[in-house]
Structure 1
Amino acid sequence: MTSTPLNNTNSPLQPTPSYADIQSIVAADFEIMDKQVFGSLNSKVKLVMSVSQHVINAGGKRMRPLITLLCARMFDDNPSEKAMHLAAITEMLHTATLVHDDVIDESGQRRGKPTANATWDNATAVLVGDYLIARAFNLLVGFQSLPLLQVFSDGTCDIAEGEVLQLQHQHNPTATEDDYLRIIDGKTSRLFMMATQGAAILQDKTEYMQALGDFGQHFGNAFQIIDDVLDYSGDSELMGKNLGDDLAEGKPTLPTIKALELLKDSDIEGYEQLRIAVQTGKTPNAEQLIELVRRSGSLDYCKQRALEETKLAQQALSTLPDNRYRTGLYQLTELASARLL
């Protein structure tokens, strides 16, 4: 196995490509995959179909299935029905996790659209999320690949454990950075790992499993840290939620964890205000608390951590076949980091 260095080929005159540009690299595959996400639903229960279609229609950019398609093409530049099918299954699993997240967070909107739990009720949303997971595994059996089933079953367990860990540390002002990394490794990064490693198994390129796992983990870590930073510094309209929502929900995110650590040594009054807000979820002075986190230096630390994780993801790509699909994966890491600017 040879290692090919990866360099940023984008000069100041050549900005990072847009998400649409990267998606266009596998445009035909992506279009088929997107149709399969809907076509794979076959419940005899009309309500299951209605809710499933609602949550899938409200979906985002389909980044995880895009990664599967890029990985598959990176190993074999030919259309692969199996890879498109696996990419659709990956999106189905991702959608299920979002449905469950919305119930836990009591969210009324996601990306500016009503959530399933708000449109129907919590019980319906949870059960349809369960259906999507069950259907995904029903479809995975069709590949008749025990290694593939192993990766996805292990990964799905890790996702569930990550969600439970987050719930366990909710409203816990003593949560640590290690706690946070364990949480996001499960709830976010694991699905990115499944998206990459699944493609390697399908294409019989298991010698790249470690590199792909490293890429998925570090890219997922960076992606989640960036999301959490934007909860204190982003555009609420673009994000589809209010700034400070994570704080109000008592989520143990890295910006809050680091702010508490820094304030404890420099501003005990500010530390107490933030600690109580995390512990109680009461944030009547949300703007003041957000400014407190910003002033603490926490966001600078988090941005640096996100860039470190991005660099590790890019380094993992250097051992993979050097072609435009690998470049597409690299550009995805740049696009994610550009959200910090």
Structure 2
Amino acid sequence: MTSTSLNNTVPASQSTPSYADIQSIVANDFDIMDKQVFGSLNSKVQLVMSVSQHVINAGGKRMRPLITLLCARMFDDNPSEKAMHLAAITEMLHTATLVHDDVIDESGQRRGKPTANATWDNATAVLVGDYLIARAFNLLVGFQSLPLLQVFSDGTCDIAEGEVLQLQHQHNPAATEDDYLRIIDGKTSRLFMMATQGAAILQGQEQHLQALADFGQHFGNAFQIIDDVLDYSGDSDVMGKNLGDDLAEGKPTLPTIKALELLKDSDNEGYEQLRIAVQTGKTPNAEQLIELVRSSGALDYCKQRALEETRLAQQALGTLPDNRYRQGLYQLTELASARLV
């Protein structure tokens, strides 16, 4: 049964639940999936196993596989071994992208734990990231589904292109909002789309692929914009990194792009300071630069854009089966937006 309420929106929940509350909707499936993430590693090379286990143990919330499990249950409220397996594969791919990100960013820690490149070295981290991607596709073949392979192979190409595009615009103060959206569409949103669409293909619900693609893309966009806003306004301890790290790395994030645009018209001196910082990556006056971005009005603009993307993600859910699993997806969008408060 589907719901097609006015404006194709899903009614908001009474209060924003915790992540644990949402996860509890598919608790048994999630626990099995989590074990499969580790159980799917089968390399005969001990170093591959050690590094893989290290990066997977560093963990995270497993949001992408949770989305796969919610989508699978939304279409068929029965345990699905295939959906759990696909969710584990999705997390394996996500972990691989994080390993590669840490090498590119020369990160020493992620979520308060040493990264693979810091614990071993860059070469080892890159190659183990490659193994995780290869192993994920090795496991995908087992589904014997060409449409599923198509979604994941196309998506993985888009993820890689998004990362390269980010590198291309690194330290580029002329990067635009369109450039930024192309970057995050690949490096962030694409995996959310794969997580949703993969579940639909497994459950024979191809008629919902476009709605799920829309949800994944807009939710991913909102998620990344919020992350980038928090780089200038969040809690360093909660985030596991220092405020302004993205600026020091010269990443073309929306707060910086918009701040440069606004400062160019209102504060030429501030504009030059920020432009040079983006271009060189030298931020000895980091606190002053962060305050420049904050006072420019850029964060207000970014918050509004994140909320727009959130609303579009919520609207995309309106044509999907109306049940508690769809509500769980809606609550994830609310939980993400709540980080802006």
What TM-score bracket applies, with the shorter chain setting the length?
Answer: over 0.9
Q: Give SS of 1:56's match.
A: helix
1:241: which partner in 2? 241
Structure 1: distance between partners of 2:45 and 2:326: 41
Measure how far apart 1:11 and its partner are. 11
How far apart, CA to CA, are the structure 2 residues paired with 1:183 and 1:12?
30
| 1:73 CA displacement | 0.1
Structure 2 distance, partners of 1:7, 1:106, is 45
Map Cα deviations across residues 15-49 of structure 1 (whole Å, 9 max, x no partner).
Answer: 21100000000000000000000000000000000
| C-alpha contact 1:68 1:198 (8 A) present in aligned 2 | yes
Match of 2:8, SS? coil
Distance verdict in 2 for CA 1:296–1:124, change over 3 Å:
same
- Seen in structure 2, the aligned counterparts of structure 1 residues 319 and 159 have a Cα distance that, compared at 3 Å, is same
Over 3 Å counting, the alpha-carbon distance change for 1:43 and 1:91 in structure 2 is: same
Output the CA distance in 2 between the equivalents of 1:278 and 1:52. Answer: 34
Q: Deviations for 1:238-296, whole angstroms, at most 9, x for unmatched residues?
A: 00000000000000000000000000000000000000000000000000000000000
Q: CA deviation at 1:59?
A: 1.6
RMSD of aligned residue pairs (Cα, Å): 1.8
- Report the TM-score when normalising by structure 1: 0.98
Instruction: Check the 8 A contact 1:317/1:326 in 2, yes or no.
Output: yes
Counterpart-to-counterpart distance in 1, 2:284 and 2:184: 28
1:43-65 deviation digits (Å, cap 9, x = unpaired): 00000000000000002000000
Given the superposition, is the C-alpha separation of residues 7 and 24 from structure 1 closer, same or farther in structure 2, using an over 3 Å criterion? farther
Q: Deviations over 1:192-222 (max 9, x none)?
A: 0000000000000000000000000000000
**Distance of 2:8 and 2:162 partners within structure 1:** 33
Q: Using the TM superposition, give the Cα deviation of residue 5 of structure 1 relative to its aligned residue in structure 2, in angstroms.
A: 3.1
Distance 1:6 1:223, change over 3 A: farther
Deviation for aligned residue 1:7: 10
* Counterparts of 1:6 and 1:75, CA distance in 2: 22
Does the 8 Å contact 1:6/1:317 carry over to 2?
Answer: no
What runs of 5+ residues in structure 2 fail to find an aligned partner?
none
Tell me, in whole angstroms, the C-alpha distance in 2 between the residues paired with 1:9 and 1:19.
Answer: 22
Three-state SS of the structure 2 residue aligned to 1:25 is: helix
Q: CA–CA distance in 2 between the matches of 1:313 and 1:10? A: 10
Cα distance in 1 for residues equivalent to 2:211 and 2:170: 33
Q: Is the contact between residue 232 and residue 244 of structure 1 (CA under 8 Å) also seen in structure 2?
A: yes
Distance in 1 between the 2:72 and 2:11 partners? 28
Q: Specify the SS of the correspondent of 2:7.
A: coil
SS at match of 2:336: helix
Q: Contact 1:6–1:315 (CA<8 Å) still a contact in 2?
A: no
Q: Which residue of 1 aligns with 2:16?
A: 16
Maintained 8 Å contact 1:190/1:217: yes
Counterparts of 2:2 and 2:230, CA distance in 1:
38
Contact 1:10/1:16, CA 8 A, preserved across alignment: no
Q: Distance in 1 between matches of 2:332 and 2:134?
A: 30
CA distance in structure 1 between the partners assigned to 2:316 and 2:11 by the alignment: 22
Q: TM-score, normalised by structure 2?
A: 0.98
Contact 1:116 1:125 in 2 (8 A): yes
How far off its partner does 1:8 sit?
13
**Residues 175-208 of structure 1: per-residue CA shift (max 9 Å, x gap):** 0000000000000000000000000000000000
Q: Secondary structure at the match of 1:258?
A: helix
Q: Which residue of 1 aligns with 2:317?
A: 317
| CA distance in structure 1 between the aligned counterparts of 2:217 and 2:78, rounded to whole angstroms | 27
DSSP 3-state at the match of 2:135: helix
Deviation at 1:4, TM superposition (A): 2.8
**What is the aligned-residue identity percentage?**
92
CA distance in 2 between partners of 1:26 and 1:58 (Å): 22
List structure 1 segments (4+ residues) > 6 angstroms apart after TM superposition: 6-13
Q: Secondary structure at the match of 2:319?
A: coil
State the alpha-carbon separation in 2 of the partners of residues 209 and 292 from structure 1: 42
Cα separation, 2, equivalents of 1:12 and 1:186: 29
SS at match of 1:144: coil
User: How many Å separate the matches in 2 of 1:113 and 1:314?
Assistant: 34
Asked if structure 2 preserves the Cα contact closer than 8 Å seen for 1:6 and 1:314, the reply is no
Distance of aligned partners of 1:215 and 1:119 in 2 relative to their CA distance in 1, 3 Å threshold: same
| Alpha-carbon distance in 2 for matches of 1:258, 1:226 | 14
8 Å CA contact 2:10–2:315 kept in 1: the answer is: no
Between the aligned partners of 1:282 and 1:327, the Cα distance in structure 2 is 45
Contact 1:214 1:316 in 2 (8 A): yes
CA 1:63–1:204: 2 relative to 1, 3 Å: same
Whether contact under 8 Å (1:99, 1:129) holds in the other structure is yes
SS in 2 for 1:7: helix
Gaps of 5+ in 1: none
Cα deviation digits, residues 80-137 of structure 1 (max 9, x gap): 0000000000000000000000000000000000000000000000000000000000
Q: After superposing the two structures, state which structure 1 stretch, 9-18 or 192-201, moved more.
A: 9-18
1:173–1:278 CA contact under 8 A, matched in 2: yes
TM-fit CA distance, 1:68: 0.1
From the superposition, tell whether residues 13 and 77 of structure 1 become closer, same or farther in structure 2 (CA, over 3 Å): closer
Indicate the larger mover: 12-21 or 103-112.
12-21
